[in-house]
Structure 1
Amino acid sequence: IIKTVTTFKDVISAAISGEPHAALAWAGVVVILPFLENTLQQDEDAANGLEKIVYLLLRYRQLQDEVLVPEFQDSSQSESARQLLIDIRSKVINVYVQIYSYEIRLVMQCTKSKARRIVRNAVGADGWKEMWESIESVSKQIDDEIQSRLNIRTLEIWQKINDSMKQTGDIKGLQQATLASVQDGNQTSLLTQLPCAVNPMFDSAEMGAEESCLRGTQLSVLNDIQDWLEDPAGERAESMPEMLSSGPGSSSSKAIDATRNSTKTFFSTIARRLAQEFPDLRVHIADAVKNNLEIGSKGPQQQLQDLIIRPLLMLNEGIFMQVQLVIAIDALDECIEEREVGDLVNMLAALEKLHHVRLQILITSRPDNHIFRSFEKLPPGFYRSLVLEKIQPPAQQDDAMDDITRYLSYALAKIANERDISPEPLDKDDIERLREKADGLFIYAATACRFLDTDDFEDDEARREILGQIFDDDMETDGPQQKVDEIYLKVPSFPRLTKSSKAFIQQILGFIAVFFEPVCVPSLAELLCRDKKKLEERLRQLHSVIHVPQEEKAPLSLVHLSLATFS
């Protein structure tokens, strides 16, 4: 104990001068030392307690300097924190009081004779262990409260750190938002430099004015398309040749629209749409424009590579899940330049480079020969063809409504609703006659409904007169039969056909139209005294008006019965 106290002599001296409550306790230690030095046999329990007191006083000296003084000087302390500090200080003073009492008892013990000390120790009269346990108990309470204060202080520090981090994060977020806004503005400025054909987009104002497809029609075709899209091994492209206008839409030809009848702005329009719909692609497409500001005036091949393929390849490298994109190209046959059509179809083969990005193209077109040839040049398995047949009449025993009847009923009821008349302006027999006249073609049915939709539709007599004109094909312009006739007129007007080729086509159409029984390709070749292969080549140019089956022995047939009376 003497060695311990001597070791910390300087600390003890500083404590006596620095803290009045600790001074008495430390002075007591110093006073006791001479007695211990002169005592031959130190009382073991008393001496051990005094040694522990010395270490305890050293701890409280550090507590005073490093915790209590700085904490009391902190003006930002909460009331609860300050109250806890006051309680800690009170308990520390209590410990000093008990230590001072212990020291007085020890001094008194040391002044007694050895015999008396032995007797008192034997009966435990002074209770050194009990006194130390009391001191130690209060000291433990102080330790617990100090730990609580440190925990509170730590939480306060962490809260300040979190507040600072939040403020830093807010500033960083604001900086990032500002930077993103600037980048978005720059990207938008670059993307608007790309030529864009607005009218052909499905959600454009012009397309919105067109009559949309009737829900619930052509379900088998929709199911085929759905199966193709959901098939992991499905082809990249699907071609849908139409027999005349056998689809549920009724839009007229857009070949006179310069934004639709050429591929000059095709890929730049697709690129702008992809950039608009997919933010991950937007930055890559904008970078492509930034790297080549004249890309909008380049050829389709370069636009495809720079604006579509390369951005998709960059996206392809940065994703792990497969992304599926579908682009629908309607009425490819209305592209004026055959060469552009061939180039466009051939360029689709570049899609094979993509893996994680699955880009599929759905193309609708009349089955013109040059389009067929273009698709046949694509790699095997790259595309498939789904022929959009005309709507077949229902079987006699089938009560289900066919799509043409469903469309006629819907369209006429809609007109009646707008005119505030009976929801069934035509009886079932009239609708059935219209269905027969349409012969499976939506374009005929849609045109007939538009022809009936006049200002005097609510007048039964006027409505019957217009209906009679439709049934008798007695309309000068814009009637349903005239729409079909326009398609017939295009057939012998194919560009780049010699007079002999046109004569051959007219001969084919004439023979098929006047036959009482359908005829197959080999039989027609014999009747015309023509080579079968050459006949097949010409028939491929007539897919719009003649149904040519896959089986060679199957009979040819007219797509619409009115061709037999067309002149």
Structure 2
Amino acid sequence: GVGKSAVAQTISEEFAKSRLAASFFFSRVDSARNHLRQFFTTVALQLVMSHVLGPLLRDYIDLTIRHNPNIIHANLEEQFQELIVKPCSQLTTGQWEELPRLIVIDGLDECLDIVSQERLLSIIRTARLSSMLPFKFLICSRPEPRIRNAFNHQDFRTMVTRCDLGDAFESGKDIAKYFREELNKIRQDHGSTMAHVPEDWPGEGIIQQLVQRACGQFIYAATVLKYIEDYHSLPTE
């Protein structure tokens, strides 16, 4: 709605060859990405495939899987320890200072199992608190109650920086601009049926009302515009 996934995707692409260690994009409509079962195995695979981290971690992770093939079916905590923490601990703090350490997690709220959302955050919190993990995390999510409560844990407060995209990027101004540009296109596309309306249709007052109703959500603006531009109706209605 406010562009969380766009931010996560852009950062992942921008830092793919430098700071990015791994990424995971949850999706409630994708059966492979709407749960946690493949989260740590996916992260481990990306570490192995990384052109920077792969040569350093591949042997450790491969050895773990050879010794314990059932690790891919183990519980999340065990997977995390065996596939992520232990291999990464083979490198020194000095080495990690020069290596990719960013893990991007997008759409945590789209993990269908609400308990798993808290479980993942708990695993990350515990690892960061005990200095077991060299990684930094960018976690993008709607502020659902269980997720918000997990981040409110006292141990998280000292290690988390929060950013509300709706406030931080003045989305109201962007949404207003979006409305103006798209409504102008609609007026032009409908040609003769809207030849009588003024160029500033529907007027700044209406646009500001729509912006207020959007509450920082671009998805609201897109839905309204899709309805207005329907060629089977008159936009001014």
- Interval containing the TM-score (normalised by the shorter chain): 0.5 to 0.7
> Residues 184-239 of structure 1: CA distance to partner in whole angstroms, max 9, x if unpaired?
xxxxxxxxxxxxxxxxxxxxxxxxxxxx849xxxxxxx9xxxxxxx9xxxxxxxxx
**Kept in 1: contact 2:229–2:235 (CA 8 A):** no
Q: Displacement, 1:348?
A: 0.4
Structure 1: stretches of 5+ with no match in the other structure: 1-211, 215-221, 223-229, 231-252, 395-401, 457-461, 469-567
Q: Aligned to 1:430, what secondary structure does the other structure show?
A: coil
- The structure 2 residue matched to 1:293, chosen from 65, 69, 73, is 69
d(CA) in 2 for partners of 1:334, 1:305? 24
Say if 1:408 and 1:431, in contact at 8 Å, map to a contact too.
no
Residues 369-400 of structure 1 deviation map (CA, whole Å, 9 limit, x = unaligned): 22222223352512233333367687xxxxxx
Contact in 1 for aligned 2:180/2:207 (Cα 8 Å):
no
- Once the two structures are TM-superposed, the CA of residue 317 in structure 1 deviates from its matched residue by 5.8
- Structure 1 residues 336, 286: CA separation in 2 closer, same or farther (over 3 Å shift)? same
Closer, same or farther in 2 for the Cα pair 1:268/1:452, shift >3 Å?
Answer: farther
Query: Corresponding residue for 1:387?
Result: 164
Q: List aligned pairs for 1:127-206, cutoff 5 A.
A: none
Alignment of 1:303-318 (within 5 A): 303-316=79-92
Cα deviation per residue 1:492-520 (whole Å; 9 max; x = unaligned)?
xxxxxxxxxxxxxxxxxxxxxxxxxxxxx
Q: Aligned equivalents of 1:259 and 1:290: distance in 2?
A: 24
Instruction: State the Cα RMSD in Å.
Output: 3.9
Once the two structures are TM-superposed, the CA of residue 292 in structure 1 deviates from its matched residue by 1.6
Matched, 1:374 2:150: yes
SS of residue matched to 2:102: strand
SS of aligned partner of 1:327? strand
Correspondent of 1:268 among 34, 37, 41: 41
Are the equivalent residues in 2 in contact too, given 1:409–1:431 (CA < 8 A)?
no
Q: Taking structure 1 as reference, are residues 353 and 448 closer, same or farther at Cα in structure 2, changes over 3 Å only?
A: same
Measure, in 1, the Cα distance between the counterparts of 2:44 and 2:203: 45
Query: What is the TM-score normalised by the length of structure 2?
Result: 0.66
Kept in 2, the 8 Å contact 1:313–1:354? The answer is: no
What is residue 160 of structure 1 aligned with on the other side?
none
Higher relative contact order (CA 8 A, sep 6+): 2
Q: How far did residue 332 of structure 1 move? A: 1.8
Q: Is the 8 A contact 1:434 1:445 kept in 2?
A: no
Cα separation, 2, equivalents of 1:309 and 1:414:
53
What is the match of residue 475 of structure 1? none
Partner of 1:405: 176
1:213 to 1:337, Cα distance in 2 relative to 1, 3 A: closer
CA shift for structure 1 position 329: 1.9
**3-state DSSP of counterpart to 1:263:** coil
Partner Cα distance (2:66, 2:40) in 1: 17
Residue pair 1:405, 1:431 contacting (<8 A) in 2 also: no
What amino acid is aligned across from residue 282 of structure 1 in structure 2?
Answer: R
Residues 1:430 and 2:206 are matched in the alignment: no
The one-letter code sitting in structure 2 at the alignment partner of 1:255 is R
Counterpart amino acid of 1:436? Q
**Distance 1:441-1:351 versus aligned 2 partners, 3 A rule:** same
Q: Give runs of aligned pairs for residues 275-354 of structure 1, distance below 5 A.
A: 275-277=48-50, 278-279=53-54, 280-316=56-92, 319=95, 321-349=97-125, 350-354=127-131
Work out the CA distance in 1 between the residues paired with 2:57 and 2:75. 21
Judged with a 3 Å threshold, the aligned counterparts in structure 2 of structure 1 residues 445 and 310 are, in CA distance, closer, same or farther, namely same
CA distance in 2, matches of 1:299, 1:352: 21
- In the alignment, structure 2 segments of 5+ residues that lack a partner are 12-18, 20-25
Report the equivalent of 2:14: none
Hey, what's the Cα distance between the residues in 2 that align with 1:431 and 1:445?
Answer: 16
Structure 1 residue 344 displacement after superposition: 0.8
Contact 1:346 1:374 in 2 (8 A): yes
Quote the Cα distance in structure 2 between the aligned partners of 1:289 and 1:261. 24
Equivalent pairs, count: 201
Q: Which has the higher helix share?
A: 1
Q: Runs ≥4 in structure 1, deviation > 4 angstroms?
A: 352-355, 390-394, 409-417
- Same amino acid, percent of matched pairs: 26
Specify whether residues 320 and 255 from structure 1 end up closer, same or farther in structure 2 by C-alpha distance, changes over 3 A only: closer
What amino acid maps onto 1:383 in structure 2? V
Q: Secondary structure at the match of 2:90?
A: helix
Give the distance between the partners of 1:257 and 1:320, measured in 2 at CA.
Answer: 33
Alignment check: 8 A CA contact 1:267 1:303 kept: yes
Distance in 2 between residues matched to 1:351 and 1:446, nearest whole Å = 39
The answer on whether the counterparts of 2:65 and 2:71 sit within 8 Å (CA) in structure 1 is yes
Q: Does 1:362 align with 2:138?
A: yes
Q: 1:366 to 1:317 in 2, by over 3 A?
A: closer
Shift of 1:403: 1.0
Could you tell me how far 1:435 is from its partner in structure 2? 4.9
2:96, 2:134 within 8 Å by CA — same for their partners in 1?
no
- TM value normalised by structure 1: 0.31
> Contact 1:435–1:445 at 8 Å: present in 2 too?
no
Q: 1:287 to 1:406 in 2, by over 3 A?
A: farther
Which structure has the larger Rg over C-alpha atoms? 1
